[in-house]
Structure formats: C-alpha cells, structure tokens
Amino acid sequence: MSRKSVYLVFCVLGIVLPYSQFVPWVLEHGLRMGLFFHELFANRIGGFFGMDVLVSAVVLIFFLRREGKRLGVRHLWLPIVGTLTVGVSLGFPLFLYLRERALESAGIAVVAKSEART
C-alpha cells in the first residue's frame, strides 16, 4: 500500500473515530459549546487531553503553512479546515497526503531508510 493510500485511510479514521464520540454527544446535548468545554475540562485528565489537542492543532497549522509553502503544496486550506472542523486527526494525515502528492508531482522521491536498503 502506498504512503498516499495509508494517509487517506488515516484521514477516514481521523473523521470516523472522533465523530463517533462527538455526534452522539451533539444529538443528546445540541451544539452547546459552553457545556462541551465544561465537560472537556471537567477533570485534570480531560484538561490534559484538551490542552494537548489545542496546542497540537496550533502547531500543525503553523507547520503546514510553512512546510506547504516551502514545498509548493496546493490546497493548504483543506487540512486547515479539517483541523478546525474535526481535529488534528484529520488535518495532519490530510496534509501528509497533499504533501506526498506535491513531492510526486515535483519528481522528488522521499525514500525511507528501510525502503532504500531493499
């Protein structure tokens, strides 16, 4: 399976798994974002994960804008929207997929060390 295909599988998982938790919550409570953040930060372990994801999202957007421009990745808005609407679990693999496409179209072959030995 190619890297691009793996990244697309991760994109699907990155949508399905978080939304499998979020959609039932929304159906039960509606889009009450105050309640959402209250429950997210209801205890320290929830706060830990919440803060981790927020910091990761900010870093990802910074990184993909810089790296994307450097490599000429097209449609950089897609992983940004994916990050803001779903999360890092979609934004990051979507960026990696777009990055892989840009590298292929530029004729740049990125070969992992294990692949280079075979």
Q: Left, alpha or beta for 70 (phi > 0: left; psi -120 to 50: alpha)?
A: alpha
| C-alpha span between 39 and 55 (Å, rounded) | 19
Q: Taking the mean position of all CA atoms in its chain, how far away is CA 108?
A: 23
| C-alpha span between 43 and 112 (Å, rounded) | 41
Q: pTM of the full predicted structure?
A: 0.85
Q: Calculate helix-pair angle for 44-71, 33-40, nearest 10 degrees.
A: 110
Amino acid at 106: A
Residue 114's pLDDT is: 47
Range of the domain at 16: 3-117
* Contact predicate 81/11, CB 8 Å: no
Strand, helix or coil for residue 76: coil
- With bands split at pLDDT 50, 70 and 90, how would you rate the model's confidence at 109? low
| C-alpha span between 90 and 58 (Å, rounded) | 14
What percent of the chain stands above pLDDT 90?
86
In this predicted model, what pLDDT tens digit does every residue of 20-63 receive, in sequence order? Answer: 999 999 999 999 999 999 999 999 999 999 999 999 999 999 99
**Total structural domains within the chain:** 1
Residue count of the chain, please give it: 118
* Contact predicate 57/88, CB 8 Å: yes
